[in-house]
Structure formats: structure tokens, C-alpha cells
Amino acid sequence: MTQLGDPSVTQEERTMALLAHVLQLVGWWIAPLIIFLLKRQSKFVSFHALQALFLQICHVILVFGGMLLWFVFMFGGIAMGAAGHGGQPPPLIFVAFPLLGLVFGGFWVVVLIAAIVYGIKASRGEWAEYPVLGRIARQILKLDVQDVASRPASA
């Protein structure tokens, strides 16, 4: 649930939650993990840092999966090309390589946009959730949905 200007969230908590989102762009999964471990006493910071950490874990899994696919295409294509085309690389390599590059770039753009959008929301004191990962983070931290949703919103 998105909620504006929670009065119980301090400015320091807002700043640390913002840093958890933004520092994932340069610190990958390490920056949100450090913030999560350092600010465990704050539910607000823990919630935002855990979401950023989960996003980075998903990003790493997708990148490694994409790299595995790329290697399968590359080496499989080279093996097939060497056997059938007299040593010339097959056209599949010239399609798969740029396509997987676009997929890797797309993953990074999603992380960039999520870091900016949710960093801004965290700096405003909002309990904003990533679409799927926010629910998982809330369950792990045992945050009550009614508690977060029932806090009065202010503009």
C-alpha cells in the first residue's frame, strides 16, 4: 500500500531508505544488504532495503540465466556451424548476441527506474511496495498490512 508522509518515519529513516534504493545502482546487492543489516531496528528502512535487495537478487539471477543462454547459443552455434558450414559462424550468433545484449540492457533499465521511483517514494516516507517483492518483504519482516494501510495519509 502506498501512503504519503507517515509522521512516525524520521528524516534519517527516509534518507536511509532512499539510499537503499539508489545505492543498488552502484553497489548492486551489497549496498541494500549493508543498510538492511545496519538499520534492522527500523521497520521502514528494513522494508525498503529488503525490497531493493530482493530486486538485486532477481536481477543477478536473470543476468546469470541470460549469460547461460548466451553461452549455449554461442557455443552451440559455433559447433553446429563448424560441422555444417565449413567453419563459418552461423547467422544465429549474429541474431542472438545483440538480442541478449538488449535483454541485459532492459534488465538494467528496469532496475534503474525502480530505484529512482521507489527511492523518491521512500524519501517521502511512503510504504511503497514493489509489485511482487514488496509483499514478500512484508511477510518476512512480519509487517501488518492493516497497520501500514491504516496510517493517515497526508498530502
The answer as to whether 155 is a domain residue is: no
Q: Looking at residue 81, what is its pLDDT?
A: 63
pLDDT tens for residues 66-121? 888 878 877 776 776 666 656 666 666 777 778 888 888 888 899 899 999 999 99
**Structural contact between residues 53 and 32, judged by C-beta atoms closer than 8 angstroms:** yes
Nearby residues of 128 by Cβ (< 8 Å), 6 or more positions away: 2, 118, 121, 122, 134
The answer as to whether 95 is a domain residue is: yes
**Structural contact between residues 60 and 77, judged by C-beta atoms closer than 8 angstroms:** no
pLDDT tens for residues 43-71? 899 999 999 999 999 999 988 888 888 78
The answer as to whether 127 is a domain residue is: yes
Distance of CA 87 to the CA centre of its chain: 41
SS (H, E, C) 97-127: HHHHHHHHHHHHHHHHHHHHHHHHHHHCCCC
**Structural contact between residues 127 and 2, judged by C-beta atoms closer than 8 angstroms:** yes
pTM of the entire predicted model: 0.75
The answer as to whether 37 is a domain residue is: yes
What's the domain range around 38?
11-149
**What's the number of domains the chain is made of?**
1
The answer as to whether 154 is a domain residue is: no
The answer as to whether 5 is a domain residue is: no
